[in-house]
Structure 1
């Protein structure tokens, strides 16, 4: 099928007229694309999840919104690696942190967008644990304290951590992009109703030694501040779990975690101890 002289098929070949099968057809088409960037497939599925129209339409609107050349964006949808400027422009338009888009693209997060750390012995896990039992008012105060602390510019690149660029590696890099170490089973369960497993099991998601399930994807969505359906689209493992017992303030806690990502270990300790008094 063509529209205005352009194919509306997912990269790699035509699709049936049933729009419901479009995302699945894109998955199949991309599976044969070798070493090309995974970002195009992830963006394709996200646009389909959001708009449920032919992705070429959504991409055209996105190009106009971001002042990105439509041919350049179309090349990325077909497997080209996005450049730094494109990802920075796409972030606000998509409502996704630009730093996260670099992770989703399998690329190194630029120094000016990278979090602190990994910090030790304190990291953002302690921020999340502290926020879990707070009242709404106390969480607001905690957030104000976090945002009042100065952030020191990072001077060295954020590590890639050696994860293969699969679903598990992307999820663990997303939490690391919040200065949350991957040994985070407790907060994953408490915030997003993740599986009741130990820290080492969650850490092994990155290498692929533990199978990613929809429950994991849904839990990481809540911890990272994403709609579960959109995280499913980005990761490619679903469906989203709608009966989850996620924390009722998961969105606020995810925002706290994001705002604390630039703090040092000492600053995190200071913030946690201050609200405990």
Structure 2
């Protein structure tokens, strides 16, 4: 793939395959996410959703196929007609363009909320510490936590920790932000505050890929919904089409089990 400098956040997956032991969990995924698009990935547990997300920033190495962001292969380079894995420092450079928010926050417990946000820009991008701190405070304001800048993770609720994690992902000014079930570890009453932050981010023009079990949120926020099952993309379309008139029987069966009967389509 050739470089595409005019785009920002274009993700292209071509025949992506991944196995763990003898089990193939991704079976030839083809998917394109346009710059600024918000894509929600749905599917039952074990369908490969989280693994797919982790291949996009090379936390999981693919066994076949390619992934590119803005035309640059992720984790690999082509030399002599063959794929060669990049060195770790080159992969880390690529990851600064691909933010990731995990299920369990993954904050450094010995750092304050602000220090968690400032860490990567200073040490990975070599940004001026004062500027990184100013940007960190701006991001804490954006997620409604400016008054908790000096709090340690143990002093924050789960929802607050996840909002700090989102701010940390944004601190690198990524082209793409990946969310791996960002509300699954939260108590139900804390889910809304995190989803509100993601809703605001979705309107900002950043490319977002969100693995989620929150059906109403996916319907309201996503530009496109992708349904996965058994390592394959079974169906994709607009939220209206997927939730209102799914074409594949497997999609219909899944949605009938996870959507409350009172859910107003």
What's the TM-score bracket when you normalise by the shorter of the two chains?
0.3 to 0.5
- What is the TM-score when the length of structure 2 is the normalising length? 0.32
Higher helix share: 1
Q: Which has the higher contact order (CA 8 A, sep 6+)?
A: 2
